[in-house]
Amino acid sequence: MKVDLIDIRAVNELTDSVKSLYLTAFPPEERRPWDNIESMLVDGSQPYKIYVINCNSVFAGFISFWQFDEFIYVEHFAIEPTYRGHGVGAEVIKLFVALDPRPIVLEVEPMSSSEMAMRRINFYLRCGFDAHYDYSYEQPPYAPELPSVPLMLMTYGNKNLNLDKTTAQIHRYVYKKE
């Protein structure tokens, strides 16, 4: 199995496959409006990127993230259903963490929310992430009509990352909440 991460800008356009997977893999309260993603990528001034994931040269998913000075924040990561359970996601994480020495931060649903959330957390734990079970975290709404979402932070890398400072930066730049 050959897994590649390709900057979506190298593909020259947002693929319909990325959009389709994005809209089906995440509930409305956990995704930003698609036109906002398109404008951020076209603008290029935001520290926001998307990598297309190919497995044996076939679209298998995507990972979107923000590059901040002190850490990388993974906003969305999704693998096509046909590739799940075959090691593609773990290979993507292995490749992704090797690209940059900065700590990586991501949000997940709390373990108590569903069996799928428990599986997702265990996946990231197997990939070397730490779960911050006792840190209170809430994802601000992407739009005024959407609710905030209680989530949990997971991190890879620097064990001394200041979660309060990290949360403040994510909320300010990703969610536009002061």
Name the average pLDDT for the chain: 92
Rounded Cα–Cα distance for residues 11 and 50 (Å) = 11
Per-residue pLDDT, 163:
96
pLDDT > 70 in the chain, percent: 98
- Bridge partners for 47 per DSSP: none
Q: What is the pLDDT of residues 88-147, one digit of tens each?
A: 999 999 999 999 999 999 999 998 778 888 999 999 999 999 999 999 999 999 988 999
d(CA 64, CA 84): 18
Whether 104 contacts 74, CB under 8 Å: yes
Query: Which positions ≥6 away from 25 have C-beta within 8 Å?
Result: 76, 78
Q: Which of 7-16, 33-42, 47-56, 145-154 has the lowest mean pLDDT?
A: 7-16
CATH number listed for the domain at residues 3-173: 3.40.630.30
> For 58-67, what is the mean pLDDT?
96
What amino acid is encoded at 105 in this protein?
V
Residue-level pLDDT at 121: 96
Tell me how far CA of residue 20 lies from CA of 60, 78, 155, 166, in angstroms.
12, 11, 27, 30
pLDDT digits (tens, 9 = 90+) for 139-170: 999 988 999 999 999 999 988 899 999 999 99
Q: Residues 6 or more apart from 136 whose CB is under 8 A from it?
A: none
- Report domain extents, the chain: 3-173
Report whether 86 contacts 93 (CB < 8 A). no
Q: What is the signed CA dihedral for 94, 100, 105, 108, rounded to 10 degrees?
A: -30
Asked if the model's pLDDT at residue 44 lies above 80, the reply is no
* Burial class for 165, CB neighbours closer than 10 Å (0-12, 13-18, 19+): exposed
**Helical packing angle, 34-43 and 16-25, nearest 10°:** 140
pLDDT at 14: 57
